[in-house]
Homo-oligomer: A and B are copies of this chain.
Amino acid sequence: MKAAARVGRPPKTAARASAREDLLKAAHELMSERSSIDVPVAEIAARAGLNVALVAYYFGGKDALLLELAVGHQARFSGELEKLLARPGTADGKLRVHVRAMIRAFRRVPYLQRLNHRILRASSDEAARKLAEALVAPLAAFYERLIDEGVAEGVFRRVDPMHLYLTINGACDMLFSAQASLRFGFGVEAVDDATAEAYAEHLETTLLSGLLAPV
């Protein structure tokens, strides 16, 4: 496909699917690189090598593009949560796997939490309710079932699923949203493999001891 054709009018069929994907990919790359969700639509289009008008053409606007991106990420992650619950093993082992998976998910999509919050805040009540079902409910259900399993097995004390959601998601998000604090407050230039691994280890140990059933 020639660049001229892409910039002119909307391409068809395979090219159309590719242009949609290219815009989603460009938004993802820019937000990841800048560790910020404040990315102008013109820059998203420029990165994809497409005319900015195509964002409106394919998605209806930048907000809808970002929404599709967020829902796509979440759908992939929700599938992983289901598989994890269905595995054999005890709840403490599953929590361990989940914390690692969360850190990996945030490394792939460091802006995910902030994007979800912004979309939910900016939506009408009815839209936000539907969105929360896609973005928050799978995690809420996962924590509820995990805690029930852990309490039944005697490895967890009874904790509120919302509290666990806030603690894990907040602690994971912070590693990726506070990069300037890490850099200038702690001398950590980038969240590389070693930094992510050490933090996952800390979080896993802290949570597993912190949620232990009283002896």
Q: CB within 8 Å of B: which residues of A?
A: 35-36, 113, 116-117, 120-121, 123, 128-129, 131-133, 135-137, 139-140, 159-163, 165-167, 169-175, 177-186, 188, 198-199, 202-203, 205-212
Contacts and interface: CB of A to CB of B under 8 A. Distances in A.
A211 B212 CA distance: 12
Contacts of A208: 210
Contacts of A188: 162
A121 B116 CA distance: 20
Contacts of A116: 181
Given A184-B132, A210-B210, A199 B121 contact: no
Contacts of A140: 185-186
A170 to B, nearest CB: 3
Given A166-B171, A207-B210, 8 more contacts: A113-B178, A166-B174, A167-B174, A167-B202, A170-B171, A170-B172, A170-B175, A206-B206
Contact of A162 (B120, B171, B186): B186
Contacts of A159: 202, 206
Nearest to A163: B202
B129 A184 contact: yes
B35 A184 contact: no
A211 to B, nearest CB: 7
18 contacts: A35-B121, A132-B181, A132-B183, A132-B184, A132-B185, A136-B184, A137-B185, A159-B206, A160-B198, A161-B186, A162-B186, A163-B199, A165-B185, A165-B186, A166-B199, A170-B173, A171-B171, A209-B211
Contacts of A209: 209-212
Nearest to A206: B210
